[in-house]
């Protein structure tokens, strides 16, 4: 498996874990541990979006272009 696909899949997994951490805690919690978990979920989710975007961009940059013909007959 190519590395750029692994990076994109890792980014999607991070995003999903961030969503789970963020939405598993109710709004308005006063417990500092729960607020910390919610904030970590936000950070992991946003970081996952960036990692997924990096994987997609690496895939697009490294994609093999079709070979241009060297002789251009008119």
User: Domain residues of the chain, as ranges?
Assistant: 3-61
Q: Is 9 exposed, middle or buried (0-12, 13-18, 19+ CB in 10 A)?
A: middle
pTM of the predicted protein model: 0.76
Helices (H), the chain: 3-23, 32-61
pLDDT for the residue numbered 73: 54
pLDDT for the residue numbered 63: 80
Residue given tokens 């997609």 in the structure block? 56
User: Tens of pLDDT along the chain (74 residues)?
Assistant: 688 889 999 999 999 999 998 998 888 778 889 889 899 999 999 999 999 999 999 888 888 765 555 555 55
Token representation of residue 47: 């970081």
């Amino acid at each position: 498996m190519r590395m750029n696909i692994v990076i994109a899949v890792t980014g999607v997994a991070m995003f999903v874990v961030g969503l789970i951490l963020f939405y598993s805690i109710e709004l308005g919690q006063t417990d500092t541990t729960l607020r910390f978990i919610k904030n970590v979920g936000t950070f992991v989710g946003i970081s996952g979006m960036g990692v997924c975007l990096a994987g997609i961009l690496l895939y697009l940059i490294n994609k093999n272009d079709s070979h241009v013909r060297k002789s251009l007959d008119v």
